[in-house]
Chains A and B, each alone.
Chain A
Amino acid sequence: MEVRSRGIRKSIVSEPHYKDNTSILTGEHFWQGDIAIAEGAIAAGSRFFAGYPITPASEIAERMSLRLPPIGGVYIQMEDELASMAAILGGSWSGVKSMTATSGPGVSLMLENFGLGIMTETPCVIVNVQRGSPSTGLPTFFGQADMMQARWGTHGDYEVIALAPDSPQECFDLTIKAFNLSEKYRLPVFILADGLVGHMTEKVVVPEAEEIEVFDRRKTQKPPGQYLPYEAEDDLVPQMANFGEGYRLHTTGLTHDERGYPDMTIEAQDKLIRRLVNKIRHNADDIIMVEEKDLEGAEVVVVSYGVTSRVVPPAVERAKGEGIKVGQFRLLTVWPFPDKRIAQIAEKVKAWVVPEINLGQIVREVERAVGRVSKVIPVSHAGGDVHDPDDIYTVIKEAIQ
């Protein structure tokens, strides 16, 4: 094998060919959700992927290993998920949009450095193609039971952003969105897909490159010496400088001050943790995406997300055929949770029905947002399959009684 004496490629950073439009596959495709996620990442400008094989997410790594090297990116298969997550944080600090993809068992390991990403405000994207769980669970089947893992999985107090696609098209679109949110709010963003959406093949339309909205890094304009790496802007997010740009940054997972230096005081902890949480809470309206249907005059509202949203319409149609007024509310953003919007709707409806492929996770959030205003009924499923629409229909009927 011929080996060059110097690395083949120069810095991705100094040579911004990641904006090269030819890497975006504009047109109509038949893609699996997993492939659409990889292509969404490339369209968003991601050029570094570190991962570890796991069913049902491996196709994302496979696609990235094929696509990244010829377009100037780097794919690396790490020794485990702990390393994968650490590596994408490093890639991001070098100025390259970075991603990893896994399933629940891998997320369990990644959560260690996910916390480091939250604390150091590192933009990147983590894909969880959920399977039946806990533990090794149902590797080749799917589930939606990692919703709370994404929310509270790493230790400590924080807010997260998590998006839940329900189709390969949305896998593409929401992956771009996830990168945009991660850069805008400077944190690792979760994509909570599942094994069925990840493996289903549907039409995916990739727009022209100029039609794709990409949010690039919030780089500081201040010169070294005047720049404080953790001094927040009005929206509570600090501007960023990458490694190698002369800023000589220090960053730590310890509680730190605006200089990025460790500050082991109660005051520093209060200031930092409140800002990390509030940068998401105060900007929730900008982050949250939901889809509403037939809420006007609805007696019952079905809340769903991810693949479960695909089995709700037949149940709703059947109930409507019997004269029941049913609305639909779909979460594209699972975290932060749309409390405010649900509370507004709650005053006008009798009941909420929440089907999900777990034994009751998001239903608790709906209950919390609704309060005692209307009743909330779960439709649970332990995993491995979607709900029978008739089961959802039955609960809708019960709900109006």
Chain B
Amino acid sequence: MNQMPEHPLERCLRMDRMPHIWCSGCGIGTAVACFLKALDETGIDPDKVVVVSGIGCTGRVAGYVKFDSFHTTHGRAIPFATGVKLANPDLTVIVFSGDGDLFAIGGNHFIHAARRNVDIKVFCINNFIYGMTGGQAAPTTPLGARTSTSPYGCFEPPFNLPYLAESCGAVYVARWTPLHIRRLTHAMAEAISKRGFSFIEIVSPCPTVYSRYNRLGDGLAMIKYYRENSRIENWANTKDVPLSMNKEIVVGKFVDIDKPTFLDYQGAQIEQNKE
């Protein structure tokens, strides 16, 4: 009998937890695969990697990756990750969570971690909706989009996440979709290797609720949509990359700068006081 060859990413997945809970056509699995490949590229010791998630569909990432991983409370992945990183700066700390978790209930933590330039990486799956709770409107839901709590069409303007991240102080900001596997993987490797608060928005299909409410078709139809409607524009002004219903998706690397992290500043201030 032929032994099934081991999948190259298996050693970084908790195979004893498969199958995962994500729906067919969902973009989270693709993003996780890109992340594992990216991590491999960086050559970082997997024993020194910590993955922190909040609550929701993307919140389950921490449960499937075989690193030190923590599934926190709703919205609190970033402050938990901040504590992990500051107490042991040798660790590479990645927050993997969804748009609702990171930008509604966790929005305040995001802006302050970016401002402080805590050396953590935030990978956000933006599927425009609260998936796990059944499809309610999120702070990223485009104007006019239908959700279970915006039956007449969403009437709140959404966040432009790259613009928010840049204006709060993130040193690395990019946006890709699960169509752009190679570029997303490369961006994740760059973000992981970068010192400072790095942010990647992964615009992602939710065929089960978002697409159904808005008649956007299945996962494959969404990937086709990304192919036809996304435009790569590296270094685009983040002000100019908002997302809206059925319009162009500007993707690319928007920000890549260097500046001192929280611990750099703390160290420098203490040295200054010694003199």
Chain B residues with CB under 8 A of A248 = 46-47, 66-69
- Contact residue among B69, B90, B109 (Cβ-Cβ distance under 8 Å from A83): B109
Judge whether B76 is part of the interface by a CB distance below 8 angstroms.
Answer: yes
Judge whether A108 is part of the interface by a CB distance below 8 angstroms.
Answer: no
Judge whether B266 is part of the interface by a CB distance below 8 angstroms.
Answer: yes
Judge whether A261 is part of the interface by a CB distance below 8 angstroms.
Answer: yes
Mark B103-131 against chain A: 1 for CB-CB distance below 8 A, else 0: 00000110110001001000000000000
* Count of A interface residues, CB-CB < 8 Å: 59
Given known pairs A83-B79, A87-B80, A261-B17, the reply for A94 and B47 (CB within 8 Å) is no
The residue on B at minimum CB distance from A7 is B263
Query: Are A93 and B76 within 8 A (Cβ)?
Result: no
Query: Are A243 and B63 within 8 A (Cβ)?
Result: no
Query: Are A96 and B272 within 8 A (Cβ)?
Result: no
Query: Are A250 and B88 within 8 A (Cβ)?
Result: no
Query: Are B73 and A48 within 8 A (Cβ)?
Result: no
Judge whether B160 is part of the interface by a CB distance below 8 angstroms.
Answer: no
Tell me, rounded to whole Å, the shortest Cβ–Cβ distance linking A268 to chain B. 15
Query: Are A113 and B47 within 8 A (Cβ)?
Result: no
Judge whether B233 is part of the interface by a CB distance below 8 angstroms.
Answer: no
Q: Which of A11-19, A23-31, A196-204 contacts B (4 or more CB under 8 A)?
A: A11-19
Chain A residues with CB under 8 A of B89 = 7, 9-11
Chain A residues with CB under 8 A of B48 = 244
Query: Are A74 and B266 within 8 A (Cβ)?
Result: yes
Chain A residues with CB under 8 A of B90 = 10-11, 13-14, 244
- Contact residue among B66, B72, B88, B116 (Cβ-Cβ distance under 8 Å from A244): B88
Judge whether B240 is part of the interface by a CB distance below 8 angstroms.
Answer: no
- Contact residue among A1, A91, A112, A250 (Cβ-Cβ distance under 8 Å from B73): A112
- Contact residue among A9, A89, A243, A252 (Cβ-Cβ distance under 8 Å from B50): A243
- Contact residue among B73, B269, B270 (Cβ-Cβ distance under 8 Å from A86): B73
- Complex Cα spacing A74 to B267, Å: 10
Tell me, rounded to whole Å, the shortest Cβ–Cβ distance linking B194 to chain A. 14
Judge whether B153 is part of the interface by a CB distance below 8 angstroms.
Answer: no
A and B contact pairs by CB, cutoff 8 A, 18 listed: A2-B268, A7-B267, A14-B90, A74-B263, A78-B79, A78-B112, A82-B75, A90-B85, A93-B70, A94-B85, A116-B72, A116-B76, A243-B88, A248-B66, A249-B69, A251-B69, A251-B71, A252-B62
Interface residues of A (CB under 8 A from B): 1-14, 47-48, 50, 69-70, 74, 76, 78-80, 82-84, 86-96, 98, 112-113, 115-116, 120, 242-254, 261-262
- A sample of 9 more A-B contacts (CB under 8 A), given A93-B68, A94-B87, is A1-B268, A1-B272, A3-B264, A4-B267, A13-B87, A14-B90, A86-B76, A90-B82, A246-B47
